[in-house]
Homo-oligomer: A and B are copies of this chain.
Amino acid sequence: MTELFREVDNCVTAPQGFRAGTVACGIKSDASSKDLAILASYVPCVTAGTFTTSGTAAAPVLLCQERLKDGRTQAIIVNSGNANCATGDPGLLNAYCMTEFVATHLHLENELVLCSSTGIIGRQLPIEKIAAGVKQIELSREQGNAFSEAIMTTDTHPKRIALEFELEGRTVRLGGCTKGAGMIYPNMATMLCYLTTDAVLEHEWMQNELRAAVADTFNMISVDGDMSTNDTCLLFANGLAGNTPLNALHPEAETFRKALRHVMEYLAIEMARDGEGATKLMTVLVRGALNKADAVKAARAITLSPIWQCALAGGDPNWGRIVAALGASGCALQADRYDIFIGDVQVTRQGIGTEYEQEQARAAMAGSEVTITIDLHLGEGQATAWGCDLTHGYIDENTLYTR
């Protein structure tokens, strides 16, 4: 991290004016598991969001998209354990009910409340449990971390971060947390991401910045190539820091952009690292592509190849599988030009295997973080994608999920 930013605690409640609270209301089968959480600001927020492009998007996604039209919200309620997807009109009604419970509980305008759900698809929400749960939730500044834990499903640990930095001499903060471990191929992934800031942001600029940052971070991770029905990424800016509104012309816009990118990249990488059953984080750098779109195709193709993910799990430098995934990616390439590196070990030069030391290549695959670098030697396009290995753990996690 650059010196511009200091890490601070409490993730989404680190910026001033945000509060959170959680409860175990019985949606998850384990009655002691937190499964309902609220995040709210004292004042309305300018809000930007990006969502799954799935044709079977869940009810809460439809609700968020509707309510984000004027870019102004104040709170969100999130449940884990049930995705409220493939639930038809009753499901949509339940989503609206969830927000109404929060509006009543916190004395907010109903239209300013959003909701998210994550978990099993195809079951109606136990709406009475949620009604009762909301009443028990007490919000406070200290519960950002608890919020990040209540939204988890198969995650092994929470993913959260908050930064503090200066804008116009004022101290501002940006916090964030995500959940997501399987069905991760964002556009978005089965991921929920909540970002909060007390900076003043112009809505259009903020929406553009969020979308661009999602493209380079959350949309560049993959666990299994499965896109979810519930993916949601929201950025709430309550403006309590009182700076001049940030937009493309603001001289310090770049500082906020860097902070946003830092937070989102951190969260994206942590999600890839915590992929279901994952033991290794894979970073794939592609450079020399004809253009950025091609670099993205190539980098994602490597992270998405199950057969390479298995080799990664075994620490087996079977780079032929990288060649196969690269060839299948559809990116422009010349078979006698590309170079491939595993860590620092060059395994392919101009499309042909090098005389590398097998032991060195194995060593480069041995750790918990493995970097693959591909230079296509065709142009200036570059991209980075993150993924993980494919292990028995993934199978075990997903073989018997509904039981």
List residues of A whose CB falls within 8 A of some B CB. 52-57, 83, 85-91, 120-123, 182-183, 185, 187, 224-229, 304-308, 310-311, 313-314, 316-321, 323-333, 335-336, 347-348, 350-353, 390-392, 394-395, 397-403
Contact check, B313 vs A399: say whether CB atoms are below 8 A apart: yes
**Chain B minimum-CB-distance residue to A352:** B88
A395 to B312, CA, bound (A): 11
User: Can you add 17 more A-B contacts, CB < 8 Å, to A56-B324, A187-B328, A310-B394?
Assistant: A56-B323, A56-B351, A86-B348, A87-B353, A91-B352, A121-B318, A121-B321, A121-B324, A182-B307, A183-B321, A224-B306, A224-B307, A226-B325, A229-B324, A306-B394, A310-B399, A392-B392
> What residues on B are CB-neighbors of A88 within 8 Å?
336, 350-352
**Chain B minimum-CB-distance residue to A399:** B314
> What residues on B are CB-neighbors of A187 within 8 Å?
328
**Chain B minimum-CB-distance residue to A330:** B55
Contact check, A333 vs B56: say whether CB atoms are below 8 A apart: yes
- A selection of 30 A-B contacts at a CB cut-off of 8 Å is A54-B324, A55-B328, A55-B329, A55-B335, A56-B323, A56-B351, A86-B352, A88-B350, A90-B352, A121-B320, A121-B323, A121-B324, A122-B319, A122-B353, A185-B328, A225-B225, A226-B321, A227-B328, A228-B324, A229-B324, A306-B394, A310-B395, A311-B398, A311-B399, A311-B401, A311-B402, A313-B395, A314-B399, A314-B400, A318-B401
> What residues on B are CB-neighbors of A325 within 8 Å?
226
Given contacts A55-B333, A88-B350, A335-B55, contact A227 B324 (CB under 8 A): yes
> What residues on B are CB-neighbors of A403 within 8 Å?
316
Contact check, A307 vs B398: say whether CB atoms are below 8 A apart: yes
Contact check, B316 vs A400: say whether CB atoms are below 8 A apart: yes
- Closest CB-CB distance, A321 to chain B, in whole Å? 7
Contact check, B226 vs A305: say whether CB atoms are below 8 A apart: yes
Contact check, B55 vs A320: say whether CB atoms are below 8 A apart: no
- Closest CB-CB distance, A134 to chain B, in whole Å? 25
Residue of B306, B311, B318, B326 near A306 (CB, 8 A) is: B306
> What residues on B are CB-neighbors of A83 within 8 Å?
320
> What residues on B are CB-neighbors of A185 within 8 Å?
328
Contact check, B402 vs A316: say whether CB atoms are below 8 A apart: yes
A325 to B87, CA, bound (A): 16
Contact check, B54 vs A316: say whether CB atoms are below 8 A apart: no
- Closest CB-CB distance, A398 to chain B, in whole Å? 3
**Chain B minimum-CB-distance residue to A389:** B399
A311 to B394, CA, bound (A): 11
Given contacts A54-B327, A85-B320, contact A353 B123 (CB under 8 A): yes
Residue of B87, B182, B311, B324 near A352 (CB, 8 A) is: B87
> What residues on B are CB-neighbors of A304 within 8 Å?
225
